[in-house]
């Protein structure tokens, strides 16, 4: 607790001794209050008097009988007579200050009162209890100061040291004496000078919260008041300081302009009494907070809330984006609707927003995520949040402008040690009646998850690679045949050429033809080897737009000979004009090859005399591109249907059972689906479908 | 394409069956330079459509092809009573295939790529053999030596 607050609390105690906590009084049981030497008045929430004790009769002269049922305001003498600060009262749960009333004789009674709101269990206002003491003997200055100090405990309070501003104050006074008074409205340099020279000695929590100091007490003490004072009322404060510090006034009260949390704020500046060094000023700002949550709820819940936030296992930022909100309102008023294109035309606005929108609070996890030593490093304009996330600030603004509730994005941050971290960035915008200064940002470190995903992808790639190698092994004969064909042709063509050249009737034309065939076949062999090498190579899956018909034709290269040599009749029905799919060429070929290998092996095992495999491509009902393999083998045993895609499930003696598991994992990684079923007239049908990119 | 077969007994004719076009072309060109007439077929079925006893003096075929395989083709020819020599040319190095071919009465079983000298030599022998048996056939049933 800082000096100002302590002092003010003490004053409040003096004003209503023994009532630091609300006494429990009910209308039925007011005997104790009857004995009180302090005036006790109970009124309903509208100010209609319900109870009036003996001390009230003494203080105001009015008997209880005359007052019960009347309105407190009816005995007022000046502006403040009853429950004039009902907003503040309901908000804070109590109000302390000076009221002016008329006694039964017509004389003015100045009373120091504390008004307390009592609520029922449901939080509904039951009544208002007022404790009062006579302040009539005090001079006007004295009671005004007392009033200010009483209300100071409910206000944002500052204790300022103007000693360093003394030369300026003297200069202003000198100018005034010389008939050339300084008009601070015209001299922003003087305003800046005064507010820079005036240093903060103490602030209360409310001032810290309201003025955003965004930095906490420690960062405010010793700083110029100008650093924290809202720009729109700097002149007001400078004038007040000048008037009070120069001794021309004991207490100055002024309405001020203040954007944001407070409506109709009133600022008071006065000389500190007592042992404080000269030049010490007290400043309070009172006013109704823009939202109607009452203080007692607020205080209790705020404590819980801060603890909760501090200990949340997610890095959390509380951001005051009202300045951006105001800018948006202005844009909307000017008819801007498409904010995204507006921002792209005026990138300066985004940059500006990064500076005016400030972080107001962070929790522990936020500190450790950004590798910060203390919260103050994070409590500043939001710019640092976007250092490694191009375009994010713009998208955050668009979402805010469009009144969305959330924005969630995977992006990156740059921590203060320079490391770049993959994160999930979530913004939750306030929606009335929530406090509009509370935009929440949570940032979740997902680098471990992404890392795990990367490892999983690598594992999947390794797994499918192992599967490819195994399949290539099984298809070695078929593949050797494919390479051997062009090689055989080359050798024969070469030998034929040599024979032509050795003959007396050399046939150059024929030799030319043979040589070009050699070239063609050599190319063909080389192409086949290239395909095999791709199939055998370990590679990071690479998604491209592919034609599934082409993939299927290429896949057949590896297995055609195997199919032929086992006297299986292969028919292909390639649907024309299929849309392209996004996928990895090698992996999709691998799936097709695996499905065909399975069919071939099933057919061979079955000993079927006529052996058939049909492959088909198609567009499925949902628009996906489909690939089917039909065989007339033995089909899938009913008990195996559910397990065919399990790893290490195999019905083959020598099978290790990863072929279909790999197919499923590859098709899954492509966002597609794969299924196996029995055909009505025998044999199996395997089908996979791949989504067509939008 | 080699000249049309006009069935002169002195002009031996070889049939080549291979599904691979490059191999087919290469073999037919080789036979051309060796002055051996030939006809090429893509599949066993198309060959059988043109087959007639004594029409071809020798058959050169691949083992595995879409549809009827080379081995099945040989079996079919034997069923039809043809003694035409069959030379297999295959990329398949599996000894079982070779054994099956030879057991089925193959004249030879060569592995791709073939050596032209070896093929030429085999062809000559095969056709001599075929010519002899055809002459024998022509002279009527059996004749010793």
**Cβ-based contacts of A570 with chain B (< 8 Å):** 66
Q: Are strands B58-61 and B13-17 parallel, antiparallel or unpaired?
A: parallel
Residue A216 to residue A118: CA distance in whole angstroms: 32
- Give the mutation candidate from B1, B22, B40, B73 for the A interface (greatest A CB count, under 10 A): B22
Residue A114 to residue A17: CA distance in whole angstroms: 10
**Cβ-based contacts of B20 with chain A (< 8 Å):** 485, 489
**Same domain as A131, residue A43:** yes
Cross-chain Cβ contact B92/A477 below 8 Å: yes
pLDDT at B14 > cutoff 50: yes
Full residue range of the structural domain in which residue A184 is found? 155-306
**In-domain check, residue A146:** no
Residue A109: beta bridge partners?
A101
Q: Are strands A358-362 and A406-414 parallel, antiparallel or unpaired?
A: unpaired
Residues of chain A with pLDDT under 50: 1-26, 213, 290-297
- If we measure between CA atoms, which residue out of B110, B106, B115 comes closest to residue B83? B106
Residue A355 to residue A367: CA distance in whole angstroms: 20
Identify the CATH number of the domain in which residue A520 sits: 3.30.565.10
**In-domain check, residue A453:** no
User: Per residue in B50-73, pLDDT tens?
Assistant: 998 888 999 999 988 888 889 999
What confidence score (pLDDT) does residue A20 get? 40
Number of domains comprising chain A: 4
- Token look-up 């909307």 returns A332
**Same domain as A339, residue A320:** yes
Tell me how many residue pairs between chain A and chain B have CB atoms under 8 A apart.
85
**In-domain check, residue A142:** no
**In-domain check, residue A451:** no
Identify the CATH number of the domain in which residue A202 sits: 3.30.450.20
Residue A572: beta bridge partners?
A615
CA atoms within a 13 Å half-sphere pointing along the CA-CB vector of A269 = 24
Cross-chain Cβ contact A481/B64 below 8 Å: yes
Cross-chain Cβ contact A481/B92 below 8 Å: yes
Q: Are strands B86-90 and B58-61 parallel, antiparallel or unpaired?
A: parallel
Contact partners, residue A120, CB within 8 Å, separation at least 6: A126
Residue B39: beta bridge partners?
B15
User: Per residue in A464-501, pLDDT tens?
Assistant: 888 888 888 888 888 888 888 899 999 999 999 999 99
**In-domain check, residue A507:** yes
**Same domain as A317, residue A299:** no
Structure token digits, residue A559: 């297995």
- CA distances from residue B114 to A495, A511, B84 in whole angstroms, order as listed: 10, 19, 21
**In-domain check, residue A634:** yes
**Same domain as A240, residue A331:** no
**Same domain as A334, residue A441:** yes
Mean pLDDT confidence for B42-49: 93
Put simply, whether B128 touches A (Cβ < 8 Å) is no
**Same domain as A322, residue A301:** no
**Same domain as A477, residue A361:** no
What confidence score (pLDDT) does residue B31 get? 93
Residue A112 to residue A37: CA distance in whole angstroms: 14
**Same domain as A431, residue A367:** yes
Cross-chain Cβ contact B91/A488 below 8 Å: yes
Is A119 within 8 Å of A125 (Cβ atoms)? Answer: yes
- Report the run of H or E that residue A55 belongs to, with start and end: helix A54-60
**Same domain as A617, residue A513:** yes
- If we measure between CA atoms, which residue out of A211, A204, A205, A276 comes closest to residue A237? A211
Other CB atoms within a 10 A radius of the CB of residue A296 amount to 16
What confidence score (pLDDT) does residue A289 get? 54
| Residues shown for chain B | 145
What confidence score (pLDDT) does residue A14 get? 41
pLDDT at B3 > cutoff 60: no
ipTM of the shown complex: 0.82
Over its C-alpha atoms, chain A yields an Rg (Å, rounded) of 43
In this structure, whether the domain defined by B13-139 belongs to CATH 1.10.10.10 is answered with: no
- Give the mutation candidate from A485, A487, A504, A612 for the B interface (greatest B CB count, under 10 A): A485
Domain boundaries, chain B: 13-139
What confidence score (pLDDT) does residue B131 get? 65
What value does the mean pLDDT of chain B take?
Answer: 82
Q: Please report the residues numbered 15 through 74 in chain B whose beta carbons come closer than 8 angstroms to any beta carbon of chain A.
A: 19-20, 22-23, 25-27, 29-30, 32-34, 63-69, 72
**In-domain check, residue A150:** no
Residue A585 to residue A575: CA distance in whole angstroms: 19
Q: Which of B69, B94, B114 sits opposite A492 (nearest CB)?
A: B114
Q: Which of A489, A495, A514 sits opposite B23 (nearest CB)?
A: A489
Nearest 10 degrees: CA dihedral of A180, A181, A185, A188? 80
**Cβ-based contacts of A514 with chain B (< 8 Å):** 29
Q: Are strands A612-619 and A569-573 parallel, antiparallel or unpaired?
A: parallel
Cross-chain Cβ contact A524/B22 below 8 Å: yes
**In-domain check, residue A176:** yes
Q: What share of chain A is helix, strand, coil (3-state, %, to 5)?
A: 45, 20, 35
Per-residue three-class SS string for A425-468:
EEEECCCCCCCCCCEEEEEEECHHHHHHHHHHHHHHHHHHHHHH
- Boundary of a domain, candidates A106, A136, A166: A136
- Boundary of a domain, candidates A405, A422, A445: A445
């Amino acid at each position: 607790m800082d000096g100002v607050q302590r002092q003010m609390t003490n004053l409040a105690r003096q004003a209503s001794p023994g009532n630091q906590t609300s006494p429990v009084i009910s209308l039925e049981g007011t005997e104790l209050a009857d004995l009180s030497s302090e005036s006790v008045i109970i009124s309903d929430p509208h100010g209609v008097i319900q109870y009036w004790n003996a001390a009230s009769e003494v203080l105001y002269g009015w008997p209880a009988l005359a007052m019960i049922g009347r309105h407190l305001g009816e005995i007022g003498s000046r502006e403040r007579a009853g429950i004039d600060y009902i907003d503040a009262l309901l908000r804070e749960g109590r109000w302390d200050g000076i009221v002016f009333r008329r006694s039964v004789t017509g004389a003015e009674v100045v009373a120091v009162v504390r008004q307390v709101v009592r609520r029922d269990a449901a939080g509904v206002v039951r009544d208002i209890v007022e404790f009062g003491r006579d302040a009539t003997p005090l001079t006007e200055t004295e009671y005004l100061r007392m009033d200010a100090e009483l209300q100071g405990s409910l206000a944002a309070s500052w204790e300022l040291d103007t000693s360093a501003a003394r030369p300026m104050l003297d200069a202003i006074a000198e100018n005034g004496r010389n008939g050339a008074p300084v008009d601070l409205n015209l001299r922003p340099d003087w305003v800046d000078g005064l507010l820079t020279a005036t240093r903060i000695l103490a602030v209360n929590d409310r001032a810290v919260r309201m003025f955003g100091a965004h930095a906490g007490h420690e960062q405010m003490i010793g700083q110029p008041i100008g650093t924290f004072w809202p720009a729109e009322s700097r002149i007001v404060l400078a004038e007040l300081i000048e008037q009070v510090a120069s001794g021309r006034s004991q207490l100055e009260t002024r309405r001020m302009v203040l954007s944001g949390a407070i409506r109709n704020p009133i600022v008071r500046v006065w000389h500190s009494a007592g042992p404080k060094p000269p030049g010490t000023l007290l400043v309070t700002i009172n006013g109704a907070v823009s939202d109607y949550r009452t203080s007692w709820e607020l205080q209790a819940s705020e404590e819980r809330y801060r603890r909760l936030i501090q200990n949340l296992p997610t890095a959390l930022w509380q951001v005051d984006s009202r300045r951006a909100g105001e800018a948006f309102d202005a844009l909307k008023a000017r008819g801007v609707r498409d904010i995204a294109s507006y921002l792209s035309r005026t990138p300066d606005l985004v940059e500006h927003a990064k500076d005016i929108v400030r972080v107001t609070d962070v929790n522990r996890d936020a500190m450790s995520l950004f590798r910060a030593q203390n919260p103050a490093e994070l409590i500043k304009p939001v710019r640092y949040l976007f250092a490694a996330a191009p375009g994010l600030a713009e998208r955050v603004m668009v979402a805010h402008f469009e009144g969305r509730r959330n924005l969630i994005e995977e992006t990156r941050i740059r921590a203060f040690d320079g490391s770049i971290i993959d994160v999930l960035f979530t913004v939750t915008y306030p929606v009335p009646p929530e406090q509009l200064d509370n935009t929440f940002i949570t940032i979740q470190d997902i680098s471990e998850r992404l890392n795990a995903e990367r490892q999983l992808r690598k594992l999947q790639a390794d797994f499918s690679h192992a599967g490819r190698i195994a399949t290539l092994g099984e298809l070695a004969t078929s593949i050797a045949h494919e390479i051997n064909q062009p090689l055989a042709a080359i050798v024969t063509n070469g030998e034929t050429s040599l024979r032509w050249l050795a003959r007396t009737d050399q046939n150059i034309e024929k030799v030319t033809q043979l040589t070009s065939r050699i070239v063609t076949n050599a190319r063909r062999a080389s192409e086949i080897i290239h395909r095999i090498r791709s199939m055998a190579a370990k590679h990071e899956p690479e998604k491209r737009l592919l034609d599934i018909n082409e993939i299927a034709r290429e896949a057949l290269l590896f297995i055609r000979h195997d199919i032929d040599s086992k006297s299986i009749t292969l028919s292909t029905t390639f649907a024309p004009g299929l849309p392209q799919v996004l996928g990895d060429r090698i992996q999709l070929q691998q799936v097709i090859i695996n499905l065909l290998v399975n069919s071939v092996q099933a057919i061979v095992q079955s000993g079927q005399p006529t052996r058939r495999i049909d492959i088909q491509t198609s567009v499925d009902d949902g628009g996906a591109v489909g690939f089917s393999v039909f065989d007339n083998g033995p089909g899938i045993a009913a008990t195996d249907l559910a397990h065919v895609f399990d790893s290490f499930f195999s019905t083959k003696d020598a099978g290790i059972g990863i072929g279909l598991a790999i197919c499923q994992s590859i098709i899954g990684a492509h966002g597609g689906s794969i299924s196996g079923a029995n055909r009505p007239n025998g044999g199996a049908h395997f089908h996979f479908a791949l989504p067509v990119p939008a | 394409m080699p000249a049309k077969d006009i069935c002169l007994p002195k002009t031996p004719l070889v049939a080549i069956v291979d599904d691979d076009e490059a191999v087919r072309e290469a073999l037919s060109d080789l036979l051309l330079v060796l002055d051996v007439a030939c006809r090429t077929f893509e599949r066993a079925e198309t060959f059988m459509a043109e087959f007639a006893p004594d029409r071809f003096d020798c058959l050169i075929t691949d083992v595995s092809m879409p549809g009827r395989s080379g081995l099945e083709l040989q079996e079919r020819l034997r069923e039809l009573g043809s003694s035409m020599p069959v030379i297999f040319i295959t990329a398949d190095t599996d000894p079982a295939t070779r054994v099956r071919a030879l057991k089925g009465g193959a004249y030879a079983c060569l592995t791709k790529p073939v050596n032209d000298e070896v093929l030429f030599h085999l062809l000559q022998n095969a056709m001599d053999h075929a010519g002899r048996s055809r002459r024998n056939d022509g002279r009527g049933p059996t004749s010793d030596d």
